[in-house]
Chains A and B, each alone.
Chain A
Amino acid sequence: MRELGIILTMAAVTALLRFLPFIVFRKYTPPYIKYLGRVLPPALIGMLVVYCFKDVSFSAAPHGLPELISALCIVALQVWKRSSLVSILGGTAIYMLLVQVVF
């Protein structure tokens, strides 16, 4: 019963955070919120990139090299091919090769 309470609470609070802005601004979206909607996506994705690297240790070997090399390959692939699928699959394959075989 306690477990069910914990799980339902996590589900309810998460859903609340997801729905709240849509409920508050369901009739009218103020210009400020529209502005945030326009500028936040690249900022938030920048944050997610940093989040993914938060536990990478740059001081200890291999100094985050597998992550950095793979990330650079993804940027290069994306600029070249403009296909997220190609960049993501390619970058992940390079990373797996680096951590399993090279480093």
Chain B
Amino acid sequence: MKKQVIRLAFKTSIPVLAGYIVLGMGFGLLLHNAGYGPGWALLMSVIIYAGTMQYVGVGLLAGAASILTTALTTLMVQARHLFYSISLIEKYKGMGKYKPYMIFGITDETYSLMSDPYIPVDKKDEPLYRFLVTLFNHCYWITGCVLGNLLGEVLPFSTDGLEFSMTALFVASFTEQWITMRDHVPAITGFVSSLLCLAVFGPERFLIPALLLMTLILTLLRKREEAQA
């Protein structure tokens, strides 16, 4: 029975495998070039476990940033995690002993897999399944980060374009949720708010305004829904 859960969890995590190895290696290489060895890559990928933040972190390390600057930068870059967690509160109820690690392991990609309304296992196996998907993804990330750092600049094959698997994961999740959910207003709200904020605030700082805008619109829509009911 357990074997079946492990197999299904692995299958769910496969799309993240290639992307995390490639993006992790990119980070490992960057860290290597900044003068930090595999021990640092291992430490960061194990305890921070956040792609964008670790890339930004290399800059913070190289520039010897203060603790306050580091904390504020992290707060800005990672603010979206608050929203991921809010939307997983109900899904992660009853996850028992696995819950703390599962919360620690929420990333853009893991969130995308976890927010899928469809789970391929029975209700009783759900905690183990969700835990394993989170764990597998974390392992891919650690492997990529350390490997990239060890290999330095010599990559064994052309991986040009392989990083697109992360985009592919989000596009596939978006399509799947579009098919599954009858109400398309949330999807459109998120997409259009983000496009609008990207145009207004530019690629480096549009995430937080976009998060606030879509939450505001969805909140106003709820009031309207209630008024009609």
A residues at B contact (CB < 8 Å)? 2-3, 5-11, 13-15, 17-22, 25, 29, 32-55, 66-67, 70-71, 74-75, 77-79, 82, 84-85, 87-89, 91-92, 95-96, 98-100
Contact = CB atoms under 8 A, between A and B. Distances in A.
A99 B48 contact: no
B135 to A, nearest CB: 16
A70 B168 contact: yes
B161 to A, nearest CB: 4
Interface residues of B, number: 91
Given A5-B67, A49-B170, A50-B198, A42 B190 contact: yes
Interface stretch (B123-131, B136-144, B148-156, B177-185): B177-185
A54 B166 contact: no
Name the prevailing secondary structure of the A interface residues. Answer: helix
Nearest to A55: B203
Nearest to B81: A17
A3 B167 contact: no
Contacts of B103: 18-19, 22
Contacts of A25: 89
Contacts of B145: none
Nearest to B15: A88
Contact of B160 (A14, A42, A50, A100): A100
A52 B165 CA distance: 11
Given A48-B112, A49-B174, A85-B14, A29 B90 contact: yes
Contacts of B53: 10, 14
21 contacts: A3-B61, A14-B53, A14-B74, A21-B86, A25-B89, A32-B222, A36-B219, A40-B87, A41-B115, A42-B187, A43-B190, A44-B115, A49-B170, A50-B195, A74-B171, A74-B172, A78-B171, A78-B172, A82-B179, A88-B172, A91-B164
Contact of A92 (B40, B54, B61, B165): B165
A24 to B, nearest CB: 9
A21 B82 contact: yes
B47 A11 contact: yes
B191 A7 contact: no
A73 B127 CA distance: 33
B86 A40 contact: yes
Contacts of B214: 40, 43, 47
Given A74-B171, A91-B172, A95-B164, A14 B48 contact: yes
